[in-house]
Amino acid sequence: MNDHSPAETRREPLDAAELHLIDRYWKAANYLSVGQIYLLDNPLLREPLKSEHVKPRLLGHWGTTPGLNFIYVHLNRAIRAHDLNAIYICGPGHGGPGMVANTYLEGTYSEIYPNISRDTAGLKKLFRQFSFPGGIPSHAAPETPGSIHEGGELGYALVHAYGAALDNPDLVVACVVGDGEAETGPLAASWHSNKFLNPVSDGVVLPILHLNGYKIANPTILGRMSDEELRSLFIGYGYEPFFVEGEEPAAMHQAMAATLETVAHRIRAIKTRARESAELHGRPRWPMIILRSPKGWTGPKEIDGKKVEGFWRSHQVPMSNVRGNEAHLRILEDWMKSYGPDDLFDEKGTLKPELAALAPEGSRRMGANPHANGGLLRRELKLPDFHTLAVEVKEPGGTIAEATRVMGVYLREVLRLNAEERNFRVVGPDETTSNRLDAVFDVTERVWMEGIEPYDVHLAHEGRVMEILSEHLCQGWLEGYLLTGRHGFFSCYEAFIHIIDSMFNQHAKWLKASRELGWRRPISSLNYLLTSHVWRQDHNGFSHQDPGFLDLVANKKADTVRIYLPPDANTLLWVTDHVLRTYNRINVIVAGKQPAPQWLSMEAAANHCEAGIGIWEWASTDHDGEEPDLVMACAGDVPTLETLAAVDILRQALPNLRIRVVNVVDLMTLQPKDVHPHGLPDREFDGIFTTNKPVVFAYHGYPALIHRLTYSRTNHANIHVHGFQEEGTTTTPFDMVVLNELDRFHLAMAAIDWVPGLAVKAAHLRQQLRDKLTQHKLYVCEHGEDMPEIQEWSWPYKTAANAGD
């Protein structure tokens, strides 16, 4: 706040010539924006506008667009004046026409889409394609050059901007936040991201809060707040706000140009000061801009006697029924002509050279900046040899380990190997340690730009672990980081990942649409570890118990999503290594953090995970070459433990029962091959699950997911799934599985019930199991912990099995 450079005193930095040029460029962008919404033909209005030139269905949003165009042209000027390396995040995604118009004007659009040429024919196509079948969507989208942000669902512009700026010390991320979006929860929290931005090693986020005052049919909260309250709010958030307010174009151009000059100097001063003595200064007070301009600025002031400019009626298409209403047609023509198209485009329909010269050049153009097509900049991660980190498992069940703790060591090595590249981050809502990933703190810290006390641990300005109690911000930061070509990992309590369901949906949609665009280069996958999962919420209880995120994930396109349920540490290691090598996917891993028996050596784990599903011969008893009587299948660590314990019971009591144990790591193997690329062919599926034998399937989450994945399989009618039945509280680990009938006793009883003839033969065993459940209940209510035989159980057949039992 103390760097009042001389430039700040120039309140009118534009001379008349530059002012005129900038205003014309803005008019060109506005003209193209209106044209996209309305016109099929006659793009430069070189003949009188007729109804057949107008689209039959008028779709799109005008209201926010002129403001977005205004910002774009001024950012262009700042880029040229200060040689900025900048990208533009368009929070008001409805302003798609503006983003398209500007990238067209600067030339990037035609470079990417050569059919949209810089002439009258190209203009016609540009207009026609917008919101038109076979054309482009109405929002800023993957199709839009220079965008890393689809504006459809609001709330994530600023957090994407911060994610993009991390570890890009020379990048300026200009982020327009609409006053509608500013009302959302995620956006309201995103302002605090400044507490995590290191002025030395990260780039700059320049938030531009665009107050045009209205949403669809309401004023906005921030738009109606006084400047005094707004100033106070943003100072409170840690920024230095600059106001640009008005509607008279010339004055507004001067004010915006002057403010961007001031802001550029502020930023330079902050960066310089930080580089000179990073340790002396904490978080700087970054500048931000509050732009108040009319909604639908420069559009029709009134239509049919009703206020349009400066009001919510300009939100979408200001006039409908243009084809059928001659008066509306004339308003449209006058409106578009008010921009003076002949003063903007030459005879061929090409932007006049003195205007074209205003845009930055090459990759300095915001539509061509490679950071907005992050795959161009992406470098492969260096990954450790995970075999060296494996847990030694000599015999199934013979080792106890915490799976995620082992994973933490792997992540530590990833951080170490890529420390120089600074292209890998771990995010989580204050749970990295709780989730047992704290080995990462051997090589890095949590990033923290606020004060650090002597007794604080693992906090540093330079940390690569990002923790905030907001799943929204974790997700958004990581998305922004990945979209700009880097890598990352998100660990989260399983239940609370639902908080970002909708962000997950939107990212999956972005990936799906990006895949279909050749020019968008692949980005790293978004990788989740869901832990502290439903079965082990000892400290928390019912509110923390929900395994339903996987159901949501399974709805998305098969080429985008993967779900892994590694049963132990070595399988988790393999899966972690695997997902970090993939791109354009969303990988979800579910694994527990509690001490648990380990089943597979690293070699066995690798073989098992490669297949994604497999028969565990060492636990099975169908070694005689005949079909089993029963398949006991499991997916997830706790279900695997309970299944093996149930098999143990059955093997002891019914030694002649032929049991096949199947474990599923990659849930997508259950789907048919034509539905998912990981799906098992029916013949293989039948080979594993048989065509007619009962399958008792212990699954980590809601049973319905297994049914829907397998519904078309031959043996589906015989698959009996045990999983989470929405029963939970604060209780012992084993009581949780009992409440949901996923425990060894219920699984063993299910086996007895479903194998033909066994109900009679094993009636006594069944009663014993029932009694065990009663014993359990009495014991836990008395002692508050599980029976010793439950706590101490481990797989007993390890040596016998190896000996060929």
**DSSP annotation of 10:** -
**56-64, 100-108, 287-295, 624-632 -> range binding its own copies (CB under 8 A):** 56-64
> In Å, how far from its chain's centre is CA 34?
32
Restricting to residues 346-385, which ones interact with its own copies according to CB under 8 A?
Answer: none
Q: Give the Cα-Cα-Cα angle 764, 767, 771 (nearest 5 degrees).
A: 140
**178-186, 373-381, 628-636, 753-761 -> range binding its own copies (CB under 8 A):** 178-186
Cα-based distances in Å from 406 to 439, 494, 568, 579, 590: 9, 19, 10, 16, 14
Q: Distance between CA 177 and CA 355 in Å, rounded?
A: 27
**106-114, 153-161, 343-351, 610-618 -> range binding its own copies (CB under 8 A):** 153-161
The binder of its own copies chosen from 18, 19, 59, 338 (CB under 8 A) = 59
Restricting to residues 88-107, which ones interact with its own copies according to CB under 8 A?
Answer: 93
The binder of its own copies chosen from 188, 377, 381, 517 (CB under 8 A) = 188
3-state helix, strand, coil in the chain (%, to 5): 45, 15, 40
Residues 6+ apart with CB under 8 A from 540: 730
Token pair for 447: 């990033």
**Least Å from the CB of residue 504 to its own copies:** 9
**Least Å from the CB of residue 731 to its own copies:** 5
Please name the amino acid found at residue 748: A
**Based on CB atoms, which residue is closest to its own copies, 235 or 763?**
235
**Based on CB atoms, which residue is closest to its own copies, 230 or 661?**
230
Q: Give the Cα-Cα-Cα angle 563, 487, 138 (nearest 5 degrees).
A: 80
**Based on CB atoms, which residue is closest to its own copies, 457 or 763?**
457
Q: Can you give the C-alpha Rg of the chain in angstroms?
A: 31
**Least Å from the CB of residue 316 to its own copies:** 6
Residues 6+ apart with CB under 8 A from 364: 79, 80, 83, 84, 85, 86
132 binds its own copies (CB under 8 A): yes
The binder of its own copies chosen from 63, 155, 318, 639 (CB under 8 A) = 155
**Least Å from the CB of residue 704 to its own copies:** 4
Restricting to residues 237-276, which ones interact with its own copies according to CB under 8 A?
Answer: 237-238
Token pair for 245: 């307010």
**Least Å from the CB of residue 240 to its own copies:** 12
Residues 6+ apart with CB under 8 A from 185: 155, 472
Q: Distance between CA 378 and CA 385 in Å, rounded?
A: 21
The binder of its own copies chosen from 33, 220, 640, 740 (CB under 8 A) = 220
**371-379, 382-390, 539-547, 638-646 -> range binding its own copies (CB under 8 A):** 539-547
Restricting to residues 451-480, which ones interact with its own copies according to CB under 8 A?
Answer: 451, 453, 455-456, 459, 467-470, 472-473
Restricting to residues 629-658, which ones interact with its own copies according to CB under 8 A?
Answer: none
Restricting to residues 33-52, which ones interact with its own copies according to CB under 8 A?
Answer: 40
Q: Sign of the CA dihedral 708, 710, 713, 714?
A: negative
**Based on CB atoms, which residue is closest to its own copies, 20 or 498?**
498
Restricting to residues 559-618, which ones interact with its own copies according to CB under 8 A?
Answer: none
**Least Å from the CB of residue 193 to its own copies:** 10
**Least Å from the CB of residue 725 to its own copies:** 8
**Based on CB atoms, which residue is closest to its own copies, 266 or 507?**
507
**Based on CB atoms, which residue is closest to its own copies, 372 or 661?**
372
**Based on CB atoms, which residue is closest to its own copies, 430 or 610?**
430
695 bridge partner residues: 631, 719
Restricting to residues 288-327, which ones interact with its own copies according to CB under 8 A?
Answer: 307, 311, 316
Matching residue, tokens 């045990």: 722
The binder of its own copies chosen from 34, 141, 590, 665 (CB under 8 A) = 141
**366-374, 399-407, 444-452, 794-802 -> range binding its own copies (CB under 8 A):** 444-452
Q: Distance between CA 575 and CA 588 in Å, rounded?
A: 10
Q: Distance between CA 643 and CA 759 in Å, rounded?
A: 19
**Least Å from the CB of residue 431 to its own copies:** 7
**Least Å from the CB of residue 544 to its own copies:** 6
197-216 footprint of its own copies as x/- string (CB under 8 A): ------------------xx
Q: How many CB atoms lie within 10 A of CB 20?
A: 14
Written as one string, the DSSP assignment of 741-760 is: T-SHHHHHHHHHHHSTTHHH
**DSSP annotation of 713:** S
Pairing, β 399-402 against β 595-598:
antiparallel
Pairing, β 630-635 against β 613-615:
unpaired
**236-244, 366-374, 381-389, 596-604 -> range binding its own copies (CB under 8 A):** 236-244
3 binds its own copies (CB under 8 A): no
150 binds its own copies (CB under 8 A): yes
Token pair for 192: 């605090």
**Based on CB atoms, which residue is closest to its own copies, 388 or 543?**
543
Q: Say how many residues make up the chain.
A: 805
**Based on CB atoms, which residue is closest to its own copies, 129 or 399?**
129
Site size for its own copies, by CB under 8 A? 126
Are 109 and 103 spatial neighbours (Cβ–Cβ below 8 Å)? yes
731 binds its own copies (CB under 8 A): yes
**354-362, 385-393, 657-665, 698-706 -> range binding its own copies (CB under 8 A):** 698-706
**Based on CB atoms, which residue is closest to its own copies, 236 or 804?**
236
192 binds its own copies (CB under 8 A): yes
Nearest to 291 by CA among 216, 365, 203, 222: 222
**Least Å from the CB of residue 147 to its own copies:** 12
Q: Determine the 3-state secondary structure of 467 from DSSP.
A: strand
Restricting to residues 500-529, which ones interact with its own copies according to CB under 8 A?
Answer: 501-502, 505-506, 509, 512-513
Matching residue, tokens 């919101």: 131
Restricting to residues 784-803, which ones interact with its own copies according to CB under 8 A?
Answer: 784-785
**Based on CB atoms, which residue is closest to its own copies, 241 or 360?**
241
**Least Å from the CB of residue 390 to its own copies:** 27
**136-144, 161-169, 350-358, 685-693 -> range binding its own copies (CB under 8 A):** 136-144
Q: How many CB atoms lie within 10 A of CB 727?
A: 13
Residues 6+ apart with CB under 8 A from 68: 90, 92, 95, 98, 99, 176, 210
Restricting to residues 541-560, which ones interact with its own copies according to CB under 8 A?
Answer: 541-544, 546, 548, 551-552, 554-557
Are 55 and 40 spatial neighbours (Cβ–Cβ below 8 Å)? yes
Matching residue, tokens 């492969």: 380
Written as one string, the DSSP assignment of 541-582 is: -GGG---THHHHHHTS-TTTEEEE--SSHHHHHHHHHHHHT-
Q: Distance between CA 789 and CA 768 in Å, rounded?
A: 15
152 binds its own copies (CB under 8 A): yes
**Based on CB atoms, which residue is closest to its own copies, 144 or 399?**
144
